[in-house]
Amino acid sequence: MPAYPVGQGFPRAARLLTGGEYRHVFDDARRVRGRHLTLLHRRRVEAGPARLGLAIGKRHVRLAVQRNRIKRIAREAFRLRRGNLPGVDLIVLARGGAGDLDRRTLRREIDDLLNRIR
């Protein structure tokens, strides 16, 4: 297991875990749209660091290997930037064609979406 610098891991406290937590974000989310991904975000009710949820549906990204690659890239981008994000709950959604993008293009789009959160 790699040793991450303090604050750069991806602990349970940094994830949306339950359906209720996802529903809370979906109910009143602000959207930041990219060409192939959408980022939903909502301020956290309780104080704390940003948390990430992933909803990469089979409808838009057919192959499991592509869905899993998008999730890995999104988690890594979030993990590295978590300390600089405001206290929000985030959900990454894939749109059509996201599975066909290369790693660099996906990472650039995710970074751009994270930069646009206010």
Indicate the domain borders of the chain. Answer: 30-115
- The DSSP result for 53-83, as a single string, is EEE--TTT---HHHHHHHHHHHHHHHHHHGG
As a whole number, the mean pLDDT across the chain is: 92
- Global pTM value: 0.89
Percent of all residues in the chain with a pLDDT value above 90, rounded to a whole number: 86
30-115: CATH topology is Ribosomal Protein S5; domain 2 (3.30.230)
Kindly indicate the confidence band of residue 7, based on its pLDDT and cuts at 50, 70 and 90.
low
Q: Identify whether the C-beta of residue 112 lies closer than 8 Å to the C-beta of residue 40.
A: no
Q: Which amino acid is at 8?
A: Q
pLDDT per residue as tens digits for the range 8-63:
678 999 999 999 999 999 999 999 999 999 999 999 988 889 999 999 999 999 99
Q: At residue 1, does pLDDT exceed 70?
A: no
